[in-house]
Amino acid sequence: MAWSIKNMTRNRLIGAVIGGGLVAVLGAAWIIIYAGAYNIAADAPHTGPVYWLLKTVRERSILVRSADIPVPTDLGLEPRVASGAALYKEMCTACHLAPGTEKTELSQGLYPPAPALRDSKLSAEQQFWVIKHGIKMSAMPAWGVTHNDKLIWDMVAFLRKLPSLTPAEYERLSKLAPDHDDAMKGMNMDGAMPSPTTH
């Protein structure tokens, strides 16, 4: 009996210490956040732990969510690659650049930076998912809001070819686009994206 009362008191004490510690940690975190202590500026890189956390969340989220997406078997066909090249030139180069092009003012100010996609380590289904849905808290837009899956796969088809393309081949392909009316359906005359409700 005496033993079990002692035991209960000890358990209560441990509970109080853990609970108190948790409240103190959350309170301190809130004060740090509320005081604006974390610099959200794009010209100041993340601290190591925050960078690790965001990178891991992004990688796991993309991996898990794209796992069951079936990849079309015709991504190697030239019309698909050409359509993707034209779309890429139109919509992606300001941030991701292209074979033979210089850095843009836009690309240099991005944080996280837009990676050179010829070095992408992502699989086709992961690239499809990222292009369709975009990435929160980065400049990567969700192109699925304005483009159907076929056009997004065309862009993936182009990205799979990109590592082996010379600037001249890139130029040739991007001018070869078969029927570009389809691809441009989501764009205004000046190239700006309309609101998603227009189609």
In the complex, least distance from residue 126 CB atom to ligand HEC, rounded to whole angstroms:
8
Locate 25 and state its tokens: 């940690």
| Range 146-175, binding ligand HEC (CB under 6 A) | 155
Q: Indicate whether 85 belongs to the interface with ligand HEC (CB under 6 A).
A: no
Total number of residues that touch ligand HEC (CB under 6 A):
24
Residues in the chain: 199
- Please identify, using beta-carbon distances, which residue of 176 and 193 lies nearer to ligand HEC: 193
The answer to whether 139 contacts ligand HEC (rule: CB under 6 A) is yes
Question: Binding string to ligand HEC for residues 100 to 129, with x set by CB under 6 A, is what?
Answer: ----------x-x-xx-x--x-x----x--
CB of 179 to ligand HEC, least distance (A): 18
Please tell me whether residue 131 binds ligand HEC under the rule CB under 6 A: yes
Query: Based on CB atoms, which residue is closest to ligand HEC, 114 or 177?
Result: 114
Sequential DSSP letters for the chain: -HHHHHHHHHHHHHHHHHHHHHHHHHHHHHHHHHTT-S---TTSPPPHHHHHHHHHHHHHHHHHHHTTPPPPTTTTSHHHHHHHHHHHHHHTHHHH--TT-PPPHHHHT-SSPPPPGGG----HHHHHHHHHH--TTSS---GGGTS-HHHHHHHHHHHHHGGG--HHHHHHHHH--S-HHHHHTT--TTSPPPPGGG-
Q: Copy the structure tokens of residue 131.
A: 């292009």
Contact with ligand HEC (CB under 6 A): which of 63, 94, 124, 184? 94
Stretch that binds ligand HEC, among 26-34, 71-79, 133-141, 170-178 (CB under 6 A): 133-141
Residues within the interface to ligand HEC (CB under 6 A): 58, 88, 91-92, 94-96, 110, 112, 114-115, 117, 120, 122, 127, 130-131, 135, 138-141, 143, 155
